[in-house]
Amino acid sequence: MKRVALTLAAMTLTLAACEPQPAGEPVVTVELGDGDGGGDSGGDGGGDGAEIVPEPSLAGESEQAAEDAPRQASACSGAEFEGVPLTHCIADPAIHTIDTALAPRSGPDAALLLGWADTVDNSTIAFATNAGIYGDDLRALGYFVTGGERLRELDTDEGSGNFYLKPNGVFFGSGSEWRILTSDAFLKTVRDRPQFGTQSGPMLVIDGKLHPDIAENGASRAIRNGVGLDNEGRAHFVMAQEPLSFGQLARFFRDELDTPNALYLDGGAASNLWEPASARMDGGRVGPILVVSKKAAE
């Protein structure tokens, strides 16, 4: 596929992302949506409140980021749950590292994984996906750490939308130790700043139980994705290929993947995956990014 085809596809999906996203799944009086806005406060034991948002470089070294990536063993595979096709990717701390990044905010591929892919060595990437809910400025709504630098503090505010359906949570880690905690637990127990961290919401699974305000199978359907951690410390990234409910996504993490804790990342056109091994490059709009890289051979 030529560069122009990728760019046109990305532009088409970017425009689709600007359209109103589907209303979220109603649970009693709670409305779950796929787009959010909000403020920021708190963060890994408190902080200075400063926000540094670097402008990613658009090096453009690869004319065909998805096409030219070397073939490698895939970390992702297809799955199905209750008739819904899914993509399931596994990050194993024995062979992978995780960090966060930011999509470019300017240039022809602004807010696209494709633009960010042009700035990195494709051979080191196992896969990359959207890191959580963000605002119109492409910045994460809540806590966000990349390379050990905190760009945004923990958000403990009240609000509407998925992000503020409490408890929400934080996916974070350093080295080969990754964790998912509710935001309250993170605020109370985490003192050392991790290497990476991203706050999103709602939690899907909490200590082996579904989020109390998520219905088993509500009426709302959308493309959705999330991340969960199993008891061996592996991170499972799941992305729906067709619309599904919050309850279905949560139950897949709990019942099929046996992940005691799982966190919703985002939905609609914001759910994106780049996997060089399969030459998959989704073209929807992203802001913060989760990057799973292969460890260097010893």
The reply to whether 54 falls in a domain is no
The reply to whether 53 falls in a domain is no
pTM: 0.79
The reply to whether 277 falls in a domain is yes
The reply to whether 264 falls in a domain is yes
Give the pLDDT confidence of 128-173 residue by residue, as tens digits: 999 999 998 999 999 999 999 999 999 999 999 999 999 999 999 9
3-class secondary structure for 99-161? EEEECCCCCCCCCEHHHHHCCCCHHHEEEEEECCCECCCCCECCCEEECCEEEECCCCCCCCC
The reply to whether 142 falls in a domain is yes
Q: Please determine, for residue 61, whether its predicted confidence score (pLDDT) is greater than 60.
A: no
Query: What are the strands of the beta sheet with 149-152, ordered from one edge?
Result: 149-152, 144-146, 196-200, 169-174, 177-182
The reply to whether 152 falls in a domain is yes
Q: Please determine, for residue 14, whether its predicted confidence score (pLDDT) is greater than 70.
A: no
What whole-number percentage of the chain has pLDDT above 70? 76
Q: Higher-confidence residue: 219 or 9? A: 219
Give the residue-averaged pLDDT of 30-54.
40
Instruction: Give the whole-angstrom CA distance, residue 256 versus residue 265.
Output: 19
Domain count, the chain: 1
The reply to whether 52 falls in a domain is no
Q: Higher-confidence residue: 297 or 110? A: 110
Q: Please determine, for residue 13, whether its predicted confidence score (pLDDT) is greater than 80.
A: no
Where in the sequence is the domain holding 7, given as residue range(s)? 3-19+36-47+66-294
The reply to whether 86 falls in a domain is yes
Considering only 21-25, 249-253, 274-278, which range has the smallest mean pLDDT?
Answer: 21-25
